[in-house]
Amino acid sequence: METQDKIKQQIAENPILLYMKGSPKLPSCGFSAQAVQAMMSCGQAFAYVDILQNPDIRAELPKYANWPTFPQLWVEGELIGGCDIILEMFQQGELQTLISEVAERHPAPEEKS
């Protein structure tokens, strides 16, 4: 699968997706750490892709998104922005509202026991 197709598929399959350096439990840069903190404070599950483990995505996503830096938050197929925008939206209460509304529209699949 071409990298661009992989990116499109990830964005399509995950209503809330954060491209970041590291993981939510172990972010590998300060900007990713701040973005994750804001996202986790919203109280909803979100998907993430560690670009350090995916050098092809790290190379291609800035071209695809027309956004040069990481982290990148994508919500329902739309690029929201990077760390500064995420934090600004969080401080204004916009991020919490957006994430809650999207989580309601896309309930997590029930786990089968």
- Return the closest-CA partner of residue 102 out of 49, 51, 39, 34: 39
Residue range 65-92, pLDDT digits in tens: 999 999 999 999 999 999 999 999 999 9
Is the per-residue pLDDT at 111 higher than 80? no
Q: Which residues are annotated as a binding site?
A: 21, 29, 58, 70, 83-84
Eight-class DSSP state of 69: S
Q: Which residues are annotated as a binding site for [2Fe-2S] cluster?
A: 29
Residue range 89-106, pLDDT digits in tens: 999 999 999 999 999 999
- pTM above threshold 0.85: yes
Q: Which residues are annotated as a binding site for glutathione?
A: 21, 58, 70, 83-84
- For residues 3-24, give the mean pLDDT: 97
CA distance 89 to 94: 5
- Report the CATH number of the 3-105 domain: 3.40.30.10
State the pLDDT at residue 26: 97
